[in-house]
Structure 1
Amino acid sequence: MKQQYTITVYAEDRTGLLARITIIFSRRKINIDSLSTSASEIPGIHRFNIVIDETEEVVRKLCRQIEKQVDVLKAYYNLNEEIVWQELALYKVPTSEVTDKMVVERILREYGARVVSINNDYTVFECTGHREETDRLVKVFEKYNLIEFVRGARVAIIKKSEGFHKKIKEFEAKEPGEEAVENEYLNQNDKVFTM
């Protein structure tokens, strides 16, 4: 059964990586609902949040495929209840439509919105929340001749995670060869030919 998943990818900050990751989805004809990239808590490591509607089996395979990319360190997937997430939305409405102080105060209080810009022609409101919350405010502003609406991509934090930086530090602290695994395709009797 398809469900909404958020895939979190930790990767080195390299040019072209985003294109390589999105190709993995397009080759499988999987629509990305939301995609955000940002710096992470680890210097030089970026974090991608990718939202899709798919089955768990498909999402698991996608994560394995993403992890095969050279610059990717780790990919996780989580259901909505396993993460804390938000989306930012901006709404532009004619200032003449919302000049009544009571209207603005009610919207600010009831929807947790705030005013980010006011000029003679338009006022821009901002709201942060889940998609349902930002969609409700679209309907409210449509009554006031909504000019423009934009929603940012999802940002998410995994609830039961101790942070990826802890795993990196543990890995860096290990002595070289501590977890060496013999290559299953090559042993002492095999010959390697080079040209």
Structure 2
Amino acid sequence: MKEKITVTLFCEKEATLISKIILVFTRKKIKIDHFRVDFCELTSLYKIRVGYWDNETNSKTIVAILERIIEVFCCFSQNQKELETHTIILFKIPIIHNDQITQFPISYLFQEKEHWICGGKITNEHFYALQNTLTQAILEFN
């Protein structure tokens, strides 16, 4: 059964990336429902969201292809239910505060001077707990 899937990915350059993403979906014969590109000035990364109708098994394949073929920092898929219960985050945190986030299911993407750029797909409860934990740090969500 087909359901609405949203893929969110973060990358540095979006100029040629958009055509590569479209090519992946075209080759899989998947019709794109919506496509959105946002730029985060704080991290200098692009956030691209692609919505389409498919089954969840195919969405895992799409994520694997996008992570492997296209140069992205991270890629996440969400079905309609997960859109309500999970948040895709990207944030910048000073290195001195990185021990405060070890209990959360996020990954370090790269280091930028004295900051870590982190991202992940977390539940809304973890998101609010993360916000409360890092009130002392400079926390910038995308």
TM-score scaled by length of structure 1: 0.45
Aligned-partner Cα distance in 2 for 1:62–1:170: 20
Aligned-partner Cα distance in 2 for 1:162–1:77: 9
Aligned-partner Cα distance in 1 for 2:17–2:58: 21
Cα distance change of structure 1 residues 70 and 77 upon mapping to structure 2, 3 Å threshold: closer
**Identical columns (%):** 20
Report SS of the residue matched to 2:29: coil
Q: Which amino acid aligns with 2:58?
A: V
Q: Which amino acid aligns with 2:69?
A: Q
Alignment partner, residue 32 of structure 1: 32
Alignment partner, residue 45 of structure 2: 45
Alignment partner, residue 10 of structure 1: 10
Aligned-partner Cα distance in 2 for 1:28–1:70: 15
CA RMSD in angstroms, aligned pairs only: 2.5
Report SS of the residue matched to 1:68: helix
Alignment partner, residue 58 of structure 1: 58
Preserved contact between residue 14 and residue 71 of structure 1 (Cα < 8 Å) = no
Preserved contact between residue 35 and residue 49 of structure 2 (Cα < 8 Å) = yes
Ranges in structure 2 where 5+ consecutive residues have no aligned partner: 93-105, 113-142
TM-score scaled by length of structure 2: 0.60
Deviation track 1:11-50 (CA, whole Å, cap 9, x = no partner) reads 1124211001110000111000110111137522101111
Alignment partner, residue 75 of structure 1: 75
How many residue pairs get matched? 99
Alignment partner, residue 160 of structure 1: 86
Alignment partner, residue 122 of structure 1: none
Report SS of the residue matched to 2:91: helix
Aligned-partner Cα distance in 1 for 2:91–2:67: 17
Aligned-partner Cα distance in 1 for 2:67–2:29: 19
Query: Displacement of 1:2 after TM fit?
Result: 1.1
Ranges in structure 1 where 5+ consecutive residues have no aligned partner: 85-158, 174-195
Q: Which runs of 4+ in 1 moved over 6 A?
A: none
Larger radius of gyration: 1
Deviation track 1:170-194 (CA, whole Å, cap 9, x = no partner) reads 7539xxxxxxxxxxxxxxxxxxxxx
